[in-house]
Amino acid sequence: MSAQTQPNNAYSMYTQNVQKYFENISKITPQYFQAVTQLQDECMKTVEKTINASVSTQQEFAKKAGITTDIPESAKTAIVDINKQIVQASTVNNQLAKTAIDTTVQNIKALRTNIDAFAELNKNIVQLWTTSFTLKN
């Protein structure tokens, strides 16, 4: 923007710059979320592959070393039960996080809806103050 089209009023300049800031944020936010999602996906895939490679290496070692890897039935049941509880806890945790995020979004929407009312109230207060303190000729 050229210097000729920049507003001279501080509030107009502020408004113009805030608008440009949020226009830019609106453009880059989807790219940011896509990059974060890709990072998370790559991290999960890498952790899974690392664990699988580690188990495979241990399995190969145990086989070549003649180490028995049989698990008693009670231990199998315990392992399966613990894994079910971990998966269930993870699901509940995800649901709680999603509910908290959804609630926060609703609260922010409610705030946005009421901003005009807050601004009008503040304008009325300013009008009352300025009327009270304005000297009459």
Q: pTM of the full predicted structure?
A: 0.63
Judgement on whether residues 101 and 124 belong to the same structural domain of the protein: yes
Containing domain of residue 93, as a range? Answer: 71-137
Tokens encoding 33: 């979320």
Judgement on whether residues 19 and 76 belong to the same structural domain of the protein: no
Task: Determine the Cα–Cα distance for residues 62 and 68; give it in Å rounded to an integer.
Answer: 7
Judgement on whether residues 87 and 55 belong to the same structural domain of the protein: no
Task: Determine the Cα–Cα distance for residues 73 and 108; give it in Å rounded to an integer.
Answer: 52
Residue 4 has pLDDT above 70, yes or no: no
- The pLDDT assigned to 121 comes to 94
Judgement on whether residues 54 and 104 belong to the same structural domain of the protein: no
* Domain stops at, among 20, 39, 70: 70
* Domain stops at, among 70, 98, 120: 70
How many structural domains does the chain have? 2
pLDDT digits (tens, 9 = 90+) for 65-78: 999 999 999 999 99
Task: Determine the Cα–Cα distance for residues 131 and 99; give it in Å rounded to an integer.
Answer: 47
Question: Which among 78, 83, 56 is positioned nearest to 69, based on CA atoms?
Answer: 56
Judgement on whether residues 59 and 30 belong to the same structural domain of the protein: yes
